[in-house]
Every structure is written in structure tokens, then in C-alpha cells.
Amino acid sequence: MSGGHAHHTLYLPGTSVLHRLPAQVKLVAAVLAVLAIVAAPREQFWAFGVFAVVIVILAVTAGIPLLLIARRLLIELPFIGFALLLPFVASGERTDVLGLHLSTDGLWGAWELLATATLGVSVSILLASTTPLREVLTGLERLRMPTLIVQIMSFMIRYADVVADELRRMRIARESRGFVASNIRHWPVLGRSAGALFVRCFERGERVHLAMLSRGYTGRMPQPEGDGATMTTWGLALSLPVLFAAVSLTAAVLT
Amino acid sequence: MSDALRLRGLSFSYPDGHLALDGVDLTVQQGERVALLGPNGAGKTTLALHLNGIHTATSGSVEISGMPVDKGNLAEIRRRVGIVFQDPDDQLFMPTVRDDVAFGPRNLGLGQAEVAQRVDQALTQVRLHDVADRPPHHLSFGQRRRAAVATVLAMDPDILVLDEPSSNLDPAARRELAEVLLSLDVTILMITHDLPYALQLCPRSVVLADHRIQADAPTAQLLADDEQLAKYRLELPFGFSVPTA
């Protein structure tokens, strides 16, 4: 019940054109743009350069500091680790780089993974930094995602902090009585804590449902308000994936 | 004056046979503010859940502004009875406070303009207009409790039922909530252990113990009767006393 939640959010308030576009339009544009990036042949380095430049221009337009994007890109670290392994473990033709005997296929694979992952994650960072979470949900609903799934996602976002707080209080209560999980014999205790947390969440779910029923809930969420996007906004947003697709296509033709 | 709430011989047993309520009679008139007191486990919350048809009486009847609570009119009953639950995190489940306050009116099928107007009014009544667009978990506990009150006020209820409204509040938040509740022009039934709070807000108190109503008196008179209080495991906080009238 404490008020000291970390107010972590990916959203960066702003008024740029990227901020103003409706969420459903941005979602579609981002997914298509990522697909276009993945489709680009890996041998055409310039294509990836074009993608990167366009993403940087968009970030600057939206007023998102490049350093922030770089920091958020850290999420792809596990993939980078995997990409670095590829040249060592992949089979096929070998080549010598700086005295290391590496697989050519592996090197290409690593480059492709690194480039597409970095660009793809950057696009989603752009989306997340310019779109509040609840609008992402509204956008998904407008894109005809089943309401039940959108509801579950929305509840997950709403209650993540509450559950994390509950977990933290349980941990503090354990530790206050001298418990520190240091080896495998302590796992049953942690298991029981997890079980207790599950039961608490389940019971909270029932209470939330009661509270919803009490305000006239009949199994259907009220529809989101506001109008859909106009053709012009769709055109504006889709110009990004169209540009990327054109670059990929040109690159494929040149290969 | 007409009756906002009328219970006649209300009895309820849980499916496992555990008896919760046994012949509860209670009438609350429109505009009254009544405190429902009683020890833990007396059935106060169970009683509240009968008022809007979440529980159905095993025997006896519940009427809200003359309308009996039954399966056929649950939608209207749930508009008329606004329950504010004890944990605001149970009540606030939408991404922003504004969405949450709009949840009830939208379920009523009201138009967009009407919903917006109700939301504005409810948020103004609980003095939370400035945090309308924030997610509930960014609010202080006191603000969340008031937001929970707003979510039911927006349904324009005939009777507001509050379950332990002062629990977990710091003294300032407790006072702020009291000011909000006193400023509302609505019938209130307040479940509480906080006897000074009952005295401050509710001119009338009823005691629920051993599954039925044991006492029904002006709050000041009830709280001055130490013998009666002790009988039902009710105690004023240390250092407090209410002078005999």
C-alpha cells in the first residue's frame, strides 16, 4: 500500500507529428517497417544505412534524445551475444579475421542479426516513446484485436505494479525474519511464496470482478471513444514502410 | 421523506452452510448518513453485497428506493447503489482515473457528452480534477480512495455504500475524505470500525453483531454508552470519550 512506486514509463511526452498520429496507424506502420527492414538483403550495406538515417531523422523530429535510444537498445544485448557466437560455431567456408579462424556464413549471419535487430528495436523504441501505453491498447482494439485480449493486456499493465509491490512486501517480511535465499534448500520457501502470491492475485481478481459488476459490468468493456484515423493520416504514417519497402526492393534487385 | 433503503428479515447463509445474516431489518431514509458498526466477521460487508444484488438473500427482501433487488433489475439497482470497496486497487482497474470514472456511466449506455459531463462533475466533487489523466497507481493512497468514490458518484447513485472508508488513510487524507463526503448531497451507509469518524460523519449508527441489527440510535448516544459498546466489541480509541447527552 505504499505510494513509493517507481514511475517508470517508456513514453516521452511531446507534440511532434509522431506523437500526434493515432496509435493504430503507428502500430501498423511500425510492424510493416520492421518487415521491410528484415526483407532487405544482407549484402547491401547501404540499405541498412538508409534505414538508420531515416530512423535518426524521425527520432530527432520527435525530440527523443539519441542517447536515450542507445540506452534502451541495451535490451537487445542477449541477441548480440548470440550474434557474436555465430562466426565461431557456424559451419561452411572459413576465413581469417585478425588471426581468428571464422565461418563466413556465421559472419554474415551475425551482421544480419545485429543490423535487423538494432533497426527493428529502434523502430519499436520510436513507437513506445511517442505513444502512451493506453493508446497502444486503444489502437490494438481499433485494429480489431479481440477485446478479451486487449482487456487482459490492460489489466496486466494496471496490476503489474500492485503485484510487484506485493512481492516486495513478502520478500521484506521474509528477510525481516532472517530468511535469505542462498542455496537450493531454500527453494521450497520461495516456492510457497510464489504460491501465496498466486492465491493473492487470484483473490484480487475476484474482488476486481465484484467491483466491476457493482458498476454495471456485463462482460463487455465500453467501446473507446473518438474517431478513427483519416486517409491522410494513414497515408502519412504508411509512407515510412513504403519508403523502407522501396529500399529493400531496390537492394534485392541490385543483389 | 421516502426510504432509500429498506431491508426486511434479510437472511443469508453461504453455500457451505455458514450463517452470515439472520433476519436483518433496516430502513434508511433519503439523505440520511448512517454508520454500520460491528466487530470483524459480523457480516457487514456481506450485508453491503446484498444491497446491489451481488449476493441474493436466502430469505427476506431488499428494496432500493422502493425497487426490490432481483435478477430482473440488476442494472438499475447497480446504478442506484454505489459501493466503494475497501481496497481502491480493486476498484480502479482502468489505465487512467478518467477512464475508470467513465466505466460505470458507459456501462449505463450514456452518450459521450453525458459521460464526459458526469466524469468532470464526479472528479470535481472529490477534488481530483488535476490528476484525471494519470494512471491510478501514480496516485497517493488517499487520492485513490477518493477516486474510488468518484467512480460510483459518476453513476448518480441513490445511496452511497462505503466499506471502511478511513482505513489506511493518514490523518490529512482522512480529513479530506470526510470533507468530500460531507459536501455530497447523497444518502450514505458507511461500514466502519472508526468510531470517531462515524461520530463526525453520521448522525445515526446501527450495530450489526451476531448476524442481526442489535442497536439503532443517534451516534453520539450510542458512543456514550460504554456498556453497550463493550457488549459488541466496539471501543473508542484510547483517550477518547463521548459525553452522555
Query: For B214, phi and psi rounded to 5 degrees?
Result: -105, -25
Q: Do B107 and A218 touch (CB under 8 A)?
A: yes
d(CA A249, CA A151): 38
pTM: 0.77
Instruction: Report, as an integer, the average pLDDT of B5-24.
Output: 92
- Nearest neighbour of B152 by CB, restricted to A162, A215, A217: A215
Q: Which residues of A touch B (CB under 8 A)?
A: 1, 3, 5, 7, 133-134, 137, 154-155, 157-159, 161-162, 204, 207-208, 210-218, 222-223, 225
Residue of chain B nearest A151, judged by CA positions: B94
To which H or E segment does residue B20 belong?
Answer: strand B19-29
The neighbour count for residue A181, using CB atoms within 10 Å, is 14
Burial of A255 (0-12, 13-18, 19+ CB in 10 A): exposed
Pairing mode, if any, of strands B212-218 and B187-191?
unpaired
- Nearest neighbour of A216 by CB, restricted to B92, B94, B108: B108
**pLDDT, tens digit (0-9, with 9 covering 90-100), for A41-56:** 888 889 999 999 999 9
Q: Do A133 and B95 touch (CB under 8 A)?
A: yes
**pLDDT, tens digit (0-9, with 9 covering 90-100), for A166-186:** 888 888 888 877 777 778 888
Which residue, chain included where needed, has cell 478479451? Answer: A148
d(CA A211, CA A152): 17
- Nearest neighbour of B104 by CB, restricted to A7, A162, A215: A215
Which residues from A are below 8 Å from B78, CB to CB?
A: 213-216
Banded pLDDT at B147 (limits 50, 70, 90) = very high
Measured N-to-C along each axis, helices A45-61 and A231-254 cross at an angle, to the nearest 10 degrees, of 160
Query: For B26, phi and psi rounded to 5 degrees?
Result: -155, 135
**pLDDT, tens digit (0-9, with 9 covering 90-100), for B209-236:** 999 999 999 999 999 998 999 999 899 9
Banded pLDDT at B36 (limits 50, 70, 90) = very high
Residue A110 near residue A87 (C-beta atoms within 8 A): yes
Which residue, chain included where needed, has cell 458526469? Answer: B118
Pairing mode, if any, of strands B33-37 and B187-191?
parallel
- More confident: B189 or A223: B189
Cα A111-A115-A120 angle, rounded to 5 deg: 150
d(CA A52, CA A40): 13
Helices and strands counted in chain B (H then E): 10, 10
To which H or E segment does residue B216 belong?
Answer: strand B212-218
pLDDT of A241 strictly over 60: yes
Q: What is the ipTM of this complex?
A: 0.79
d(CA B77, CA B71): 10
Residue A221 near residue A151 (C-beta atoms within 8 A): yes
Query: For B237, phi and psi rounded to 5 degrees?
Result: -60, 155
DSSP 8-state class, residue A64: -
> B92, B107, B140: best mutation site toward chain A, by most A Cβ within 10 Å?
B107
CA separation (Å) from B84 to A156, A207, B8, B90?
Answer: 23, 12, 23, 10
What pLDDT is attached to residue B109?
Answer: 87
d(CA B183, CA B178): 9
In sequence order, what are the residues at sequence separation of 6 or more whose Cβ sits closer than 8 angstroms to the Cβ of residue A16? A61, A62, A63, A130
Average pLDDT value over all residues in chain B: 92
**pLDDT, tens digit (0-9, with 9 covering 90-100), for A132-165:** 888 888 888 888 888 888 888 888 888 888 888 8
Burial of B18 (0-12, 13-18, 19+ CB in 10 A): exposed
